[in-house]
């Protein structure tokens, strides 16, 4: 088997492995963002339930959930 045939034989499995590892790393790096978004959504929903009559703007709700600018 010459070098060109070796590269052709191993290129697909190698690229598939690199792709799988990359996608796994990307997915795991998004977990903290998903948790933070869930907390933000719960906070905004809580504000909506508390202050249903006096609807503040969405930006005000998010601002208060983020510590009011602190």
Averaged confidence pLDDT in the chain = 85
User: Residue 70: its pLDDT value, please?
Assistant: 47
Q: How confident is the model at residue 69 (pLDDT cuts 50, 70, 90)?
A: low
Q: How confident is the model at residue 55 (pLDDT cuts 50, 70, 90)?
A: low
Record the tokens describing residue 50, joined without a space: 């508390």
Residue 63 CB partners (closer than 8 Å, separation 6+): 69
CA pair distance 53, 35, nearest whole angstrom: 29
Pick from 2-6, 16-20, 41-45, 50-54: least confident: 50-54
pTM (2 decimals)?
0.62
What separation in angstroms does the CA of 24 have from each of 14, 27, 38, 63?
15, 5, 21, 33
User: 25 pLDDT exceeds 90?
Assistant: yes
> Which among 33, 34, 44 is positioned nearest to 66, based on CA atoms?
44
């Amino acid at each position: 088997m010459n070098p060109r045939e070796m590269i052709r034989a191993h290129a697909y499995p190698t690229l598939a492995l690199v792709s799988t590892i990359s996608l796994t790393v990307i997915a795991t790096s998004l977990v903290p963002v998903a948790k933070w978004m869930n907390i933000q959504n719960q906070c905004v929903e809580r504000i909506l339930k508390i202050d249903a009559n006096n609807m503040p703007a969405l930006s005000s709700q998010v601002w208060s959930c983020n510590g009011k600018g602190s």
